[in-house]
């Protein structure tokens, strides 16, 4: 049964049982506790927690998921994929344990001919959380199995949570016995309540039914967590591993061999000339390739670009591991252009965006491979240097820190370092390397903990939302409301009042203030009541539905319950509308100039200013930059109408509205903002101008890179745009009057001036040198005799760098060749003295060493020096000691 059919049967089974089929959410839900969606329940989390009312009592989905903690295990076990699809059914306070067990059992055991998966009952072993007698009894009742067939496991296996504070509950797994070829017979009664790892390959978990009933405040490990209370309702969350069921039903050995993954392995076989199944090490590499190529394609599809932290780092690691595995398999040419299209052809049947968005996805992936190839090239040089150092110092092992630097700075995986070291007959201090890696992981964990702490704060806001309901939000309708203060907070805790000068947070019953979202900055403004006023510093929506204003009391005392007038600064808001509409205009213009695959990945705008990040790998040429600016301003001049309307997500997509990566939208009512009809259609909750000319002007001020595969343009709009141009005009004005030319002659004139300056400087240099060398004859004429040596010691204050050396050599050459001669010259550059001593052949024969003399002189100058017996060079920090240094050299010569 192919994967598509398994997916179809799953959804059909639950739809027939009254579930609403919900499409997979993006891998990037904006949940601060998660890097990626890692379970089917993630998009439904607010429903389980009771933060939002679910629009349906039952739902089913096949959700894209990414889990990367086990990345090193990929390909080694049969069942760990970094990307996988989770088939799930969900009940929000509707059916509970019995319903979940019945529905799952029916689907897995129903004959294939009747639409089920037809798994033999004798091979199935349900499990329960030890002590969950209700579930135990229900399994016996529903399946007719004896109690001895139901496995009782501890919380490590059979209590499920997200690994972070949130919903959780006891669970039941359905294990499938693959037979004695895959491991020993289980003796469940003797095993205890921890699953024996030796049994995991044979007794494969295919489905997890979570009886979601608890709220967790702290999760330290799978079996160590704090339950802070019950969820408002008893829910069901299940997850069936699509790939696992697929490999069982397709009679394959593991998830990498199923219909949607194996073609990549076959392509890798063709490219490398290796055969899958011939060598265990190569097999692992091929599975890594199949898994990572697919995972990275799915991540790029959802808008991730490679980078050095967070999601971007995960993607980078996956791509690089795939490329690297191909190298280890003996394929050194660019591999992704050969492999990723194969994965696209299989996955694109379900995820059609992969096909329509292919140009962008391929560009991001192939570019990263290019960058990595470069890394390998430079890293290899660094590696060779490190290896040579080890050799030269008589060692035989690269240090842990060398391996760590190669890994951390040059992206060299440790297995690569190990392999290259062994090729050179060297070892690597792997323990040292692992130690440094562990330290780095600790730092990362501490970061994550800090982030989690931030999230826990939302409890206070949730309490407020529960107590008084959502804020009536009037930002689209008015700039001014009469409102009542519902709550006053200081440092995250409710207080009775804020005094003059204090900063705190306010919740109102209604507000005209726009809370920062969708890239648009929060509104500025004031609130005033009889006896006082506050200035609004920031506005956020920490939980959906609740608007929180950060304020400073400018006058009087603010108490909960006070009626007041909330007033948005109208000039601020006008600026914000200009900037936000300007962002849409620039986005549309970019897509017009570069093509539709230039998609926004992030943006920020506030009055007068906007920036927009988009997926693109190369810099805009000056011509493209001009074109984007021109298209933008033409749209303003045409005064395109701006409008917004609500529709379903489905309709919005049909309309071609652009939904942004990582945003969640309410499927039933999304807001689409249009500028000039289809020219610009985006899902957006921001505030906008009424027609394009109100933006005033768009002036692009910069274009830059923000990490691999992502570029940024910045622009000024409205009066700020005008002011920027006016300032440039003034600068041009100053230059034209200074240089006495017309503005368009400026570049030629400036180039001319610069060129003349350069020629003059060269000429000056030549003259200076001439003068300096001209003094050589005089200097030689004044040579002293120091203990039988002709000695010239001079301070040439105008001489710098090479001049000092040239003069010293010139003087030495002019000294009589038949007797020992020494020239010592001290010059000065940028406040630092430099010294050169040159000794002629007769001098060297008489045992005079330039390097000894330089050392004596440099000591006086506060520095060091060295060189050979004939010429040596030194310097120091104190040019006022130049005469002392010459004297010291003379002394050294005399005492020789
Ligand atoms: N949330 C559970 C899991 O991830 C069941 O879907 O296993």
Structural domains for the chain: 3-257 (3.30.930.10), 459-568 (2.40.30.130), 573-726 (3.30.980.10), 775-894 (3.10.310.40)
pLDDT bracket for residue 455 (50, 70, 90): very low
Q: Could you give the maximum distance between any two Cα atoms of the chain, in Å?
A: 118
Report yes or no: 521 and 495 within 8 Å, Cβ to Cβ.
no
Contact between 323 and 289 under an 8 Å Cβ cutoff? The reply is no
DSSP 658: B
Full DSSP string of 689-746: -SBGGGG--EEEEEEEE-STTEEEEEEEEHHHHHHHHHHHHHHHHHHHHHHTS-GGGH
Element (H, E) at 183: none
What average pLDDT does range 275-292 have in this prediction? 95
Identify the burial level of 523 via C-beta atoms within 10 angstroms of its C-beta, where 0-12 means exposed, 13-18 middle and 19 or more buried.
Answer: buried
The predicted pLDDT at position 449 comes to 55
Overall average pLDDT of the 646-668 stretch: 75
Cβ burial, residue 67 (10 Å; 0-12/13-18/19+): middle
Tell me, what's the pLDDT at 442? 75
Residue 451, pLDDT above cutoff 60:
no
Q: Which of 210, 240, 245 is the pocket-test mutation for ligand 1 (most atoms within 8 Å of CB)?
A: 210
pLDDT more than 90, % of the chain: 69
pLDDT tens digits for 660-713?
A: 655 556 667 889 999 999 999 999 999 999 999 999 999 999 999 886 678 999
Q: Residue 448 has what pLDDT?
A: 54
Lowest mean pLDDT among 14-18, 329-333, 355-359, 455-459: 455-459
Q: What are the CB-based long-range contacts (under 8 Å, 24+) for 100-105?
A: 100/209, 100/211, 100/236, 100/238, 101/126, 101/135, 101/138, 101/139, 101/142, 101/143, 101/172, 101/209, 102/142, 103/13, 103/14, 103/17, 104/174, 104/207, 104/209, 104/238, 104/240, 105/142, 105/143
pLDDT digits (tens, 9 = 90+) for 426-441: 999 999 998 888 887 7
Dist. CA 44 → ligand 1 center (Å): 12
Q: Give me ligand 1 centre to Cα 533, in Å.
A: 50
Highest mean pLDDT among 343-347, 428-432, 448-452, 777-781: 343-347
Q: What is the pLDDT of residues 146-164, one digit of tens each?
A: 999 999 999 999 999 988 8
DSSP letter assigned to residue 647: E
Element (H, E) at 250: none
Distance (angstroms) between ligand 1 centre and the Cα of 483 equals: 44
- pLDDT at position 457: 61
Query: pLDDT category, 866, cuts 50, 70, 90?
Result: confident
Mean pLDDT, the chain, integer: 91
> Which mutation among 47, 60, 63, 86 tests ligand 1's pocket best, with the greatest number of atoms within 8 A of CB?
86
- Element at 207 (helix H, strand E): strand 203-221
Evaluate whether 513 touches 572 at the Cβ level (below 8 Å).
no
In SS3 terms, 511-572 reads as: ECCCCCECCECCCCEEEEECCEEEEEEEEEEEECCEEEEEEEEEECCEECCCEEEEEECHHH
**DSSP, res 155:** H
**Percent of the chain at pLDDT above 70?**
97
Taking 90 as the threshold, does the pLDDT of residue 798 lie above it? no
pLDDT at 456 over 80: no
Token output for 874: 């030194």
CB 824, CB 857: distance < 8 Å? yes
Q: What is the distance in A from the centroid of ligand 1 to the CA of 447? A: 26
Contact between 363 and 334 (Cβ < 8 Å): no
Q: 684 C-alpha vs ligand 1 centroid, how far in Å?
A: 32
Place of tokens 């701006």: 642
| pLDDT at residue 666, rounded to an integer | 67
What's the CA gap between 339 and 344, in Å, rounded? 9
Q: Whose C-alpha lies nearest to ligand 1, atom 4?
A: 39
Give the confidence band of 453 by pLDDT, cuts at 50, 70, 90: very low
- Best residue among 160, 207, 211, 213 to mutate for probing ligand 1's pocket (most ligand atoms within 8 Å of CB) is 160
230-239, 550-559, 764-773: range with lowest mean pLDDT:
764-773
State pLDDT tens for residues 583-615. 999 999 999 999 888 888 889 999 999 999 998
What letters, b where the CB count within 10 A reaches 16 and e where it falls short, cover 840-850? bebbeebebbb
Question: Among the listed ranges 113-117, 419-423, 759-763, which one has the minimum average pLDDT value?
Answer: 419-423
In this predicted structure, what is the pLDDT of residue 74?
85
pTM beyond 0.75: no
Residue given tokens 């109208």 in the structure block = 570
Span 391-403, pLDDT tens digits: 888 889 999 998 9
CA neighbor of 260 nearest in space, from 359, 344, 204, 335 = 344
- Comparison of pLDDT for 213 and 382, the residue scoring more: 213
Query: Residues enclosing ligand 1, CB less than 6 A?
Result: 39-41, 88, 160, 208, 210, 237-239
Tokens of 11: 């959804």
Closest-CA residue to 582 (of 712, 703, 717, 700): 717
Ligand 1 nearest atom to the CA of residue 210, by list position: 5
Q: 77-91, pLDDT tens digit by residue?
A: 878 889 999 999 999
Q: Count CB atoms within 10 A of the CB of residue 499.
A: 12
Per residue in 710-738, pLDDT (tens digit) is: 899 999 999 999 999 999 999 999 999 99
Cα 173 to ligand 1 centroid, rounded to whole Å:
10
Pairing status of strand 871-875 against strand 832-839: antiparallel
Our mutation pick for probing the ligand 1 site, out of 22, 36, 88, counting the most ligand atoms within 8 A of Cβ, is 88
Angstrom CA distances, 284 to 73, 76, 222, 268, stand at 9, 6, 28, 12
In sequence order, which residues have a C-beta less than 8 Å from that of residue 499 and are 6 or more positions away?
A: 553, 557
Which residues, 6+ apart, have CB-to-CB distance to 441 below 8 Å?
Answer: none
């Amino acid at each position: 049964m192919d994967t598509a059919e398994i997916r179809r049967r799953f959804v059909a089974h639950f739809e027939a049982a009254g579930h609403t089929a919900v499409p997979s959410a993006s891998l990037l839900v904006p949940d601060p506790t998660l890097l990626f969606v890692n379970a089917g329940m993630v998009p439904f989390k607010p429903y389980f927690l009771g933060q939002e009312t679910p629009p349906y009592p039952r739902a089913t989905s096949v959700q894209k998921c990414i889990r990367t903690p086990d990345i090193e295990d990929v390909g080694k076990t049969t069942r760990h994929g970094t990307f996988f699809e989770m088939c799930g059914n969900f009940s929000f306070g509707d059916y509970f344990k019995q319903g979940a067990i019945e529905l799952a059992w029916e689907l897995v055991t129903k004959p294939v001919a009747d639409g089920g998966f037809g798994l033999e009952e004798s091979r199935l072993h349900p499990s329960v959380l030890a002590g969950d007698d209700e579930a135990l009894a229900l399994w016996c009742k529903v399946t007719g199995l004896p109690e001895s067939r139901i496995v009782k496991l501890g919380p490590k296996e059979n209590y499920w949570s997200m690994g972070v504070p949130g919903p959780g509950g006891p669970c039941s797994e359905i294990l499938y016995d693959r037979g004695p070829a895959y491991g020993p017979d289980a003796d469940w009664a003797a095993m205890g309540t921890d699953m024996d790892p030796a049994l995991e390959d044979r007794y494969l978990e295919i489905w997890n039914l979570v009886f979601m009933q608890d709220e967790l405040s702290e999760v330290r490990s799978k079996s160590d967590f704090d339950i802070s209370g019950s969820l408002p309702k008893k829910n069901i969350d299940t997850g069936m591993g699509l790939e696992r069921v697929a490999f069982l039903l397709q009679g394959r050995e593991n998830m990498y061999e199923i219909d949607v993954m194996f073609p990549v392995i076959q392509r890798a076989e063709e490219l490398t000339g290796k055969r899958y199944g011939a060598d265990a090490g190569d097999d692992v590499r091929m599975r890594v390739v199949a898994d990572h190529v697919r995972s990275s394609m799915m991540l790029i599809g959802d808008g991730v670009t490679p980078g050095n932290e967070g999601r971007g780092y995960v993607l980078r690691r996956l791509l690089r591991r795939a490329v690297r595995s191909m190298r280890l398999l003996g394929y050194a040419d660019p591999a992704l252009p050969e492999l990723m299209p194969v994965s696209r052809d299989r996955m694109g049947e379900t995820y059609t965006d992969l096909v329509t968005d292919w140009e962008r996805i391929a560009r991001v992936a192939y570019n990263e491979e290019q960058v990595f190839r470069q890394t390998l090239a430079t890293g290899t040089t660094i590696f060779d240097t490190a290896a040579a150092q080890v050799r030269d110092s008589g060692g035989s092992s690269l240090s842990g820190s060398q391996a760590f630097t190669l890994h951390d700075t040059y992206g060299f995986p440790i297995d690569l370092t190990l392999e290259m070291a062994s090729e050179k007959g060297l070892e690597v201090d792997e323990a040292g390397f692992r130690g440094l890696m562990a330290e780095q992981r600790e730092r990362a964990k501490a970061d994550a903990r800090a982030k989690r702490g931030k999230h826990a704060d939302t409890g206070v806001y949730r309490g407020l939302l529960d107590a008084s309901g959502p804020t009536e939000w009037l930002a689209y309708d008015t700039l001014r409301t009469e409102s009542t203060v519902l709550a006053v907070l200081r440092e995250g805790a409710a207080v009775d009042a804020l005094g003059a000068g204090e900063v705190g947070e306010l919740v109102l019953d209604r507000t005209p203030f726009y809370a920062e979202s969708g890239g648009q900055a929060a509104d500025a403004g004031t609130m005033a009541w009889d006896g006082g006023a506050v200035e609004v510093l920031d506005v956020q929506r920490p939980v959906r539905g609740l608007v929180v204003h950060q304020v400073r009391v400018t006058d009087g005392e603010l108490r909960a319950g006070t009626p007041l007038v909330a007033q948005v600064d109208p000039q601020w808001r006008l600026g914000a509308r200009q900037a936000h509409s300007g962002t849409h205009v620039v986005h549309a213009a970019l897509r017009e100039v570069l093509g539709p695959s230039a998609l926004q990945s992030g943006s920020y705008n506030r009055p007068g200013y906007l920036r927009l990040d988009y997926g693109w790998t190369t810099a805009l040429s000056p011509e493209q930059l001009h074109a984007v600016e021109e298209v933008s301003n033409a749209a303003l001049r045409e005064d395109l109408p701006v409008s917004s309307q609500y529709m379903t997500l489905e309709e919005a997509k049909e309309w071609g509205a652009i939904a942004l990566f990582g945003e969640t939208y309410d499927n039933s009512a999304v807001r689409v903002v249009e500028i000039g009809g289809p020219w610009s259609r985006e899902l957006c909750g921001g505030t906008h101008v009424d027609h394009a000319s109100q933006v005033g002007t768009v002036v692009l001020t910069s274009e830059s890179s923000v990490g691999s595969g992502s570029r940024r343009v910045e622009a000024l709009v409205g009066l700020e745009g005008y002011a920027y141009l006016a300032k440039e005009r003034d600068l041009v004005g100053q230059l034209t009057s200074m240089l006495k030319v017309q503005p368009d002659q400026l570049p030629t004139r400036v180039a001319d001036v610069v060129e003349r300056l350069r020629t003059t400087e060269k000429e000056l240099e030549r003259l200076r040198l001439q003068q300096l060398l001209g003094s050589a004859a005089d200097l030689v004429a004044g040579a002293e005799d120091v203990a039988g040596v002709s000695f010239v010691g001079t301070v040439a204050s105008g001489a710098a760098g090479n001049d000092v050396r040239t003069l010293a050599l010139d003087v030495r050459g002019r000294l009589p060749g038949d007797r020992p001669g020494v020239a010592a010259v001290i010059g000065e550059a940028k406040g630092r003295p430099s010294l050169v001593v040159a000794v002629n052949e007769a001098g060297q024969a008489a045992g005079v060493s330039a390097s000894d003399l330089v050392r004596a002189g440099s000591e006086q100058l506060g520095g060091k020096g060295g060189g050979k017996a004939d010429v040596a060079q030194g310097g120091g920090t104190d040019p006022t000691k130049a005469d002392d240094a010459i004297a010291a050299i003379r002394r050294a010569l005399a005492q020789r």
